Amino acid sequence: MNQRIKIVLADDHPIYRDGLRQMLELDPEMQFVHETGNGRDALEQARRLKADVLLLDIDMPQMSGVDVARERQRCNDSFEIIFLTMHWEEDLFNEALDLGVKGYVLKDSASADILNAVHSVAGGRPYLSPSLSGFMMNRARGAQDFRTSQPELDTLTSSERRILKLIVSDRTSKEIAEELGLSPRTVENHRANICSKLNLHGSHALLKFAFDNRSRL
């Protein structure tokens, strides 16, 4: 990488945050542009300073890490997110991946693990602590089992699949239309076709289906 990786670090425990910053600063390819103790400031500064990576704890005041990731996904911000966490809950792990979080690292991981996560995510590759590999295997297995039980998904066109993915990301029809360069009417037609193929009925059925199965789509 020709330029240094611009990092915003957010953790509401100053001692842990300071130790992590000192450790990462030993890597000449990393540049800390801001550090903070709350999620809202982390999001604002990551945007303002055009950070490459936002490294943050999930449990944060003002905005949690999940809230930050949700807002980043909604606004399609360019920086990547790495969650630092003490949590081993599989549901939280799946929610993080559903929100586009590229890195998921346990706080008690070795220093090399966190360094590898930053380099990997900055390079466009996902990273999770090796001890969480079982969660990823369960996620892949669940997705395969779901597709087997829902063969109708294979009837969706590539455009319909893409729109379904954006619905999972909590995009409105207007936002989807803007992102794909389509008219809102065309998006609505695609949504109607998806509902027909998946045998979904009712004004909110597609949204509920997408949210209920977001980790498997």
Exposure pattern of 75-99 as b/e (b: 16+ CB <10 Å)? Answer: eebebbbbbbbeeeeeebbbbbbbb
pLDDT in tens, 26-44: 999 999 999 999 999 999 9
DSSP secondary structure, 7-71, as one string: EEEE-S-HHHHHHHHHHHTTSTTEEEEEEESSHHHHHHHHHHTT-SEEEEESS-SSS-HHHHHHH
Determine contact, residues 58/64, Cβ cutoff 8 Å. Answer: yes
According to CATH, what is the number of the domain 5-137?
3.40.50.2300
SS3 104: strand
- The rounded distance, in Å, linking the Cα atoms of 182 and 193 is 16
Instruction: State the pLDDT at residue 68.
Output: 95
In the numeric block, which tokens belong to residue 110?
């070795």
DSSP 8-state secondary structure symbol assigned to residue 4: P
Helix (H, G, I), strand (E, B) or coil at 85: strand
What pLDDT does 164 receive? 87
Residues of the chain with pLDDT under 50: 1
pLDDT of residue 145: 67
pLDDT at 1: 46
Contacts of 167 (CB under 8 A, 6+ apart): 176, 191, 206, 207, 210
Tell me the CATH number for domain 150-212: 1.10.10.10
Q: How far is CA 149 from CA 46, 144, 155, 165, 214, in A?
A: 41, 9, 14, 19, 15
Q: DSSP characters for 56-84? A: EESS-SSS-HHHHHHHHHHHT-SSEEEEE
State the CB neighbour count (10 A cutoff) for residue 201: 9
Per-domain boundaries in the chain = 5-137, 150-212
For the whole model, what pTM was predicted? Answer: 0.68
